[in-house]
Structure formats: C-alpha cells, structure tokens
Amino acid sequence: MLKLYGSTTSPFVRRIRIWLANTQHEFVNLQIFAEQDREALIVKNPTMKIPMLEDEMDGKSQVIYDSRVIYRYLTDKFADPALSWEQENQLTLIDSANDSLVQMFILSNSDIQADEDKLFFKLQKERVNAVLVQLNEQVDSGLFSSWNYPSVCLYCLIDWIEFRKLHNMQGLTSLLEFHDENSQRIEVTATDPR
C-alpha cells in the first residue's frame, strides 16, 4: 500500500497527488509547522521535508523522500517510461523556481521581508525571472503540449504562484494560457489547495 505524506498546499506534494490520481494510495495531510506533525515526520524522514512516500509491501516498508525521487520510484515500480534528458532539464527548471519561491515564502512568513539589495533575494528573484521566461518560451514552442509529469509539475508551480501571489506573471502569456487550459482537469480540481 502506498502512503503519501504531505500538505494540501505544497506544490511538490500536489504534483505527486496528481500523478497518483488513478493509483490506489492513502494521503496523509500533515501540518508540517505543527509540533505533533513535525515529530511524526522526523520519525520517518530526517530531512523533515514533504512529500514523502511510504510503500509497504510484504511486511516491509520503503520510505522515499523528495518529489523527484518519488516520481522515479513510482516510474520504476509501475514500469513507466523514464523521462528524456529534455524532460529532466524541464524538471530542473521547474524545481529551481519552486525552490527559490518556497525559500522566499518561508522567509516572508518569518517576518523577513525581501530586500532587493540583499544578495540572497536578488539571486532568488533573478533565478525565478529567468526560469519563468524560459518555461514560457518552452510552452510557446509546444514542449508542454502533453499532460505528462513535467506538465503536471509546471501546472503546480504556476498555480502555486497564483494561489500565494508570489510573482507578477504579467507578460508570461503562454504560461498563463497553459494554466487556464489545464485548470479543469479532474485531478487538478480535486487537489486544488484553495
């Protein structure tokens, strides 16, 4: 039995929830900043990050950390085709923007305001801007025309940006159109953090 640990608002968790939409699994919704859930998380996952997947088979438990590794594990488990190198690069772009935005979001929730003059914030914002422009061009070129794992991850990134109001998406019309085109998929609406 597959058990996915995460929160309903995490874009990294949501991508796995969407990917598992047609696979029997249990979703354990954690409040990762609440003491009790943090204690439960650290017992199984010393990184204390979500998502985390637990696969119980034949009386043994395999715990997998990180959305990218979870996806690879599921691909292997269900004998799905591996991602191409181009798709791996797409995931690297998506993950880098997501990581930067998560870090700035956590700092903001810690009452540390983004200061344009501070190196950390300058580098994160430069990365997010460059990545979103590149992803916009890739969508415009048709590289995300199939609903595959990179597309799911891209959707989750854009939707999280819009949900949390993390970045001005003005001018990124291909990304916004991609978001609109996929917003009514059943697995998308079923995992909407709103």
- DSSP labels, 29-42: E--TTSHHHHHHHH
Contact 167, 132 (CB under 8 A): yes
Same domain, 55 and 113: no
pLDDT in tens, 18-30: 999 999 999 999 8
Cβ neighbour number for residue 17 with a 10 Å cutoff = 20
For residue range 37-76, list pLDDT tens digits in order: 888 888 888 888 899 999 998 889 999 999 999 999 999 9
* 26, 55, 77 - which closes a domain: 77
pTM greater than the 0.85 cutoff: yes
Residues 19 and 68 in one domain: yes
Domain containing residue 16: 2-77
**Same domain flag for 127 and 143:** yes
- Based on the fold, state whether residues 52 and 100 are members of the same structural domain: no
DSSP 3-state percent helix, strand, coil across the chain (nearest 5): 55, 10, 35
How many domains are contained in the chain? 2
Q: Is residue 122 located within the same domain as residue 89?
A: yes
Which pLDDT tens digit goes with each residue over 159-189?
999 999 999 999 999 999 999 999 999 999 9
